[in-house]
Chains A and B, each alone.
Chain A
Amino acid sequence: QVQLQESGPGLVKPSETLSLTCTVSGGSITNNYWSWIRQPPGKGLEWIGYVSYSGSTNYNPSLKSRATISVETSKNHFSLNLSSVTAADTAVYYCARNSGNYGLMLYYFDYWGQGALLTVSS
């Protein structure tokens, strides 16, 4: 059974860069695509972007190019950096595995982590 676990600092100051890592266990990170999804308090889920096992990426334009997702196959993990954070970036951040048709960019998410709360505050 594939399991994902997010890890991160919990608290980030405004204007700094948020960094999170998702470690995949019970399966290989190769031959799959991996996403970050977040949920601000009281709001809905928002897809941030994905990285493939080969390092190709795709992002939600709503993040205005602040997001960078990378993969480290030797460690079976992938990471999210979100720059210039504000209070609006306070959210529970989930990592997930994509499933579906990658070529047509039609994907849903078949395995998720439990989520990590990131708070942006000085």
Chain B
Amino acid sequence: EIVITQSPATLSVSPGERATLSCRASQGVSSNLAWYQRKPGQAPRLLIYGASTRATGIPARFSGSGSGTEFTLTISSLQSEDFAVYYCQQYNKWPPLFGQGTKLEIK
């Protein structure tokens, strides 16, 4: 069974700086990886699919990279609205599996 590991669990970054979040799969998942943002009381939002394709309406400061087992979500210049919890999800093998999440907090 595939295991999805996100790191770090919590990331403290100042507004305007770059944030780099990691997602690792225990087996190769090709480019079948998505990233989501979740804020308290709001619906989770799809940010990235296909490891690097931004979803509709997602700002260009969000970018995804990687393939196989190592993936990265980069937020180039953090805005106040970007502080949230981020999840990755593999969909290369059934059933779809999520990581445990990275909480991005204001430093």
Contact = CB atoms under 8 A, between A and B. Distances in A.
A105 interface: yes
Helix, strand, loop or mixed for chain B's interface?
A: loop
Nearest to A42: B100
Contacts of B94: 105
A113 B87 contact: no
B41 A99 contact: no
Contacts of A43: 100
A75 B36 CA distance: 29
Interface stretch (A24-32, A44-52, A64-72, A78-86): A44-52
Interface in B66-107: 87, 89, 91-92, 94-101
A46 B4 CA distance: 12
Contact of A110 (B46, B92, B97, B99): B46
Interface of B: 32, 34, 36, 41-46, 49, 55, 87, 89, 91-92, 94-101
Across the A-B interface, the 6 shortest Cβ-Cβ residue pairs: A108-B34, A45-B98, A112-B43, A44-B100, A112-B44, A60-B95
Interface of A: 4, 43-47, 60-62, 94, 96, 99-100, 105-115
